Amino acid sequence: MLYLESHITIEPVFEDKLLLASEIAKKYNFKVADLLMKKRETDSEERSKYDTFMTGHSQDKQDLTQRTINLVKELQETGFKVWRYKLEEAFVDSRIEDEFLLNVGKK
């Protein structure tokens, strides 16, 4: 195992609510993802209207579990609708090592 990752998906939020969600997430060492939609090269980028999610990492299952629980509870207490949470184990990550020699992420 390289690390554990937790994802929390909430209702789509924008502007002040997005800022508040980001501030709450930061307290638990999570980051809100910047999901930008652009379907054609000529389109301007716009924030996804389908969901907002945040991610946290750890190598300690108990740590990540507790931070996930605490973050979900605070989001709910602050009025956010939490749609989903999940914890995953990463055992391969090409950002750490290109184990399959696929030359990804190289410019």
- Digit-coded pLDDT (tens) for 50-84: 678 999 999 999 999 999 999 999 999 999 999 99
Residue 97 lies in a domain: no
Number of structural domains, the chain? Answer: 1
Residues 8-45: tens digit of each pLDDT? 999 989 889 999 999 999 999 999 987 644 455 664 55
User: Please, which pLDDT band fits residue 46 given cuts at 50, 70 and 90?
Assistant: low
Residue 96 lies in a domain: no
Residue 102 lies in a domain: no
Residue 27 lies in a domain: yes
Token pair of 68 as six digits? 């996930």
Residue 34 lies in a domain: yes
Domain that includes residue 12, residue range: 3-90
Structure confidence at residue 38 (pLDDT): 44
Q: What CATH number should be reported for the domain holding residue 74?
A: 3.30.70.2190
Taking the C-alpha atoms of residue 60 and residue 74, their distance in angstroms, rounded to an integer, is 21
Token pair of 54 as six digits? 């945040």
pTM: 0.84
Residues 96-106: tens digit of each pLDDT? 999 999 998 77
**Torsional sign, CA 70, 73, 79, 83:** positive
Residue 30 lies in a domain: yes
Instruction: Match 């301007």 to its residue by tokens.
Output: 44
